[in-house]
Amino acid sequence: MNDLHVEGLTKSYGAGEPVLRDLELTVPAGALAAVLGPSGCGKTTMLRIVAGFLRPDAGTVRLGDRLLSGPGVHLPPERRRIGIVPQEGALFPHLSVARNVAFGLTGAERAERRHRTEEMLELVGLAGYGDRMPHELSGGQQQRVALARALAPQPQLVLLDEPFNALDSALRAEVRSDVRTALRATGATAVLVTHDQQEALSTADLVAVVRDGQVAQCATPQDLYNRPADPWIADFVGEAVLLPATIDTDGTARTALGPVPLAAAPAGLRVGTVLLRPEQLRLTDAHSDGSVNGMVTNICYYGHDAMVTVKVEEHDTPVDIRVAGALPVRPGEKTGVCIAGEAILHP
């Protein structure tokens, strides 16, 4: 098995505050986990410890039944059976594409190396590119070669360190999809470090949100988005509408946008913060039944949908409403706002 277990990982640089604080993370065999967090939260430090480039101050790293790091144990990177896809590919500029891919295939027969190289290039959609030099490739093609190089030695684990940052948005989505397909084809366990919420939610099987050196929540993308553990995670992973609320005895939350049924609430809680997503809010005619009134203050149009910001009369903070299709309002117009669906309540 090639499941990854990170337990109690702690790391400080010098006499400063710990970058990692008893970090825990488990990635099942064959899964792709995205490690998501703001700059400085410790996600890259964790990746470097797993890769073997850094020694932790405490904690263990296991890959399958092998202890990679722990008390008295620190396997060097070349003995960990871990492939790494760094930012911007980092290909060897003086080597051809084929020689880049075959770089880690030490000890293999020449015919075996050639076959494995061709197999990997075909897997990443670059069959026939082996004789080209890295400078002859686009950015997306270079990232595919970097992935082929990482997968060629059949690693147990692949680490991807924000590998799509240098690509434009359209190419980034295409390369992400190709990388995910290639990882699934090989069955490798993978960890993707990113600060891009959309990238994490659309690519990974699991998403671990790191905050202040700890995993604040690890869940499937759907669970993370629909049931975040606290308001900070809700606001970090996608847009969130957070409203103060009082709870009736029937489990209904009373908010500035009106009553809303709760999907879940801690027992006995009578006040708290309600979490809604912008797609749960609807624009209605002003003064219509079941809605509250407000003024449209801003519209951000994205083509496939738009985000409409409304200053509601009963609420100090403007709320964002995701609208699909034709826009029924303009900035400065009055509108009604109502809630659809259930909300999550946090203390």
214-227 residue pLDDT tens: 999 999 999 999 99
* Structure-model confidence comparison of residues 246 and 170, the more confident one: 246
Rounded to a whole number of angstroms, the distance between the first and last alpha carbons of the chain is 40
Q: Please give the average per-residue pLDDT across 180-198, as a whole number.
A: 90
Candidate ranges 19-28, 261-270, 284-293; pick with highest mean pLDDT: 19-28
More confident residue, 35 or 172: 35
Q: 191-195, 279-283, 315-319, 335-339: lowest mean pLDDT where?
A: 315-319
Mean pLDDT of the chain, nearest integer: 90
CB within 8 A of 3, min separation 6: which ones? 26, 27, 28, 29, 63, 64, 189
Could you tell me the fold of the domain covering 239-346? OB fold (Dihydrolipoamide Acetyltransferase, E2P) (2.40.50)
- For the cut 80, the answer to whether the pLDDT of residue 161 exceeds it is yes
Highest average pLDDT, of 13-17, 250-254, 321-325, comes from: 321-325
**pLDDT, mean of residues 154-173:** 85
The residues, any chain, with a CB within 8 Å of residue 67's CB and separated by 6 or more, are 60, 61, 73
Report how far residue 218's alpha carbon sits from residue 132's, in angstroms, rounded to the nearest whole number: 41
Residue with tokens 């480039």: 53
109 or 196: which leads in pLDDT: 196
pLDDT score of 14: 81
Per-residue pLDDT band at 30 (split at 50, 70, 90): very high
Q: To 5 degrees, how large is the angle CA 143–CA 120–CA 207?
A: 55
Q: Where are the domains of the chain?
A: 4-231, 239-346
Asked if the model's pLDDT at residue 11 lies above 70, the reply is yes
- 3-class secondary structure per residue, the chain: CCCEEEEEEEECCCCCCCCEEEEEEEECCCCEEEEECCCCCCHHHHHHHHHCCCCCCEEEEEECCEEEEECCEECCHHHCCEEEECCCCCCCCCCCHHHHHHHHCCCCCHHHHHHHHHHHHHHCCCCCCCCCCHHHCCHHHHHHHHHHHHHCCCCCEEEEECCCCCCCHHHHHHHHHHHHHHHHHHCCEEEEEECCHHHHHHHCCEEEEEECCEEEEEECHHHHHHCCCCHHHHHHCCCCEEEEEEECCCCEEEECCEEEEEEECCCCCCEEEEEECHHHEEEECCCCCCCEEEEEEEEEECCCEEEEEEEECCCCCCEEEEEECCCCCCCCCEEEEEECCCEEEEC
Strand order in the sheet with 157-161: 82-85, 157-161, 189-194, 32-36, 206-211, 214-219
Encoding tokens for residue 237?
């992973």
Res 265 pLDDT > 70: no
CATH topology of domain 4-231: Rossmann fold (3.40.50)
pLDDT over 90 at 69, yes or no: yes
Q: Rounded distance, CA 274 to CA 147, Å? A: 42
Of 80-94, 167-181, 183-197, where does mean pLDDT reach its minimum? 167-181
pLDDT value at position 172? Answer: 83
Q: Which residues contact 225 (CB under 8 A, 6 or more apart)?
A: 201, 237, 238, 277
Q: Are 272 and 260 in contact (CB under 8 A)?
A: no
Bridge partners (DSSP) of residue 144 are: none
Place of tokens 């708290």: 272
Same topology between domain 4-231 and domain 239-346 = no
Q: Residues with Cβ < 8 Å from 193, sequence gap 6 or more? A: 34, 35, 43, 44, 46, 47, 159, 160, 161, 162
Matching residue, tokens 């009082």: 246
